[in-house]
Amino acid sequence: MKQLFYLLLLATVIMSCSNQKFAVRANNDHLMVNTLNQTYQIVIGQSEAKLSEETERAIQDEVENQMEARGFVRTSKSPDIVVVCSVFETKLKIKDSRKLEEDKSEYTTRRITLNGGTLMIQMIDENLNKSVWLGMASGFIKPNKSIEERELKAITRSIFDEYKLVAYGYMPKQEMTATR
């Protein structure tokens, strides 16, 4: 198990040293609450960019890995959470709402401009009938330059690093340690 940890750490260090730079952002979960959500469905939203089948599959595979790691089960009938993934090639202007301080209820809203090449992942809670989380990585798609599947999966994974909820009733498996 320690070897796996060190391999993952090494992979993270190597990827962080690459010349591919991108920025990851997420709203700070101001609408997220632990509800009875246990199921999800992935939807590739209307993207500005025409995505290849390989690109769509890489995004979907990593979203599936990340949701299942949080205890969610994929379903095609009446999901609790709909995960919408979209890619935008050009600059994007959006409103960004953030809590000023974690223990206060005040929010600030500002307009931000994202660099071209943005992968946006939005969680829609079907029970609440509203968007509850938005994460994005920008600046990774360059004109006339393809992106490798492993890079796209790493970018998707980095967005999910900001998603803190797990499925209702899910208890992550803890590594057993020997006591002396």
DSSP notation for 19-86: S---EEEE---TT----S--EEEEEE---SS---HHHHHHHHHHHHHHHHHTT-EE-SSS-SEEEEEE
Give the model's pLDDT for residue 11: 40
Give the model's pLDDT for residue 25: 63
For the chain, give every domain's residue range.
Answer: 20-160
Give the model's pLDDT for residue 19: 42
Classified by CATH at the fold level, domain 20-160 comes out as Double Stranded RNA Binding Domain (3.30.160)
Beta-bridge mates of residue 97: 109
Q: What is the pLDDT along the chain (180 residues), one digit of tens a residue?
A: 444 343 343 344 334 444 446 666 666 555 556 678 899 999 988 766 667 788 889 999 999 999 999 999 999 999 999 999 988 888 877 777 666 666 666 767 777 777 778 888 999 889 888 888 888 888 877 666 777 889 889 999 999 988 888 888 888 776 555 554
Q: Could you tell me the pTM of the whole model?
A: 0.73
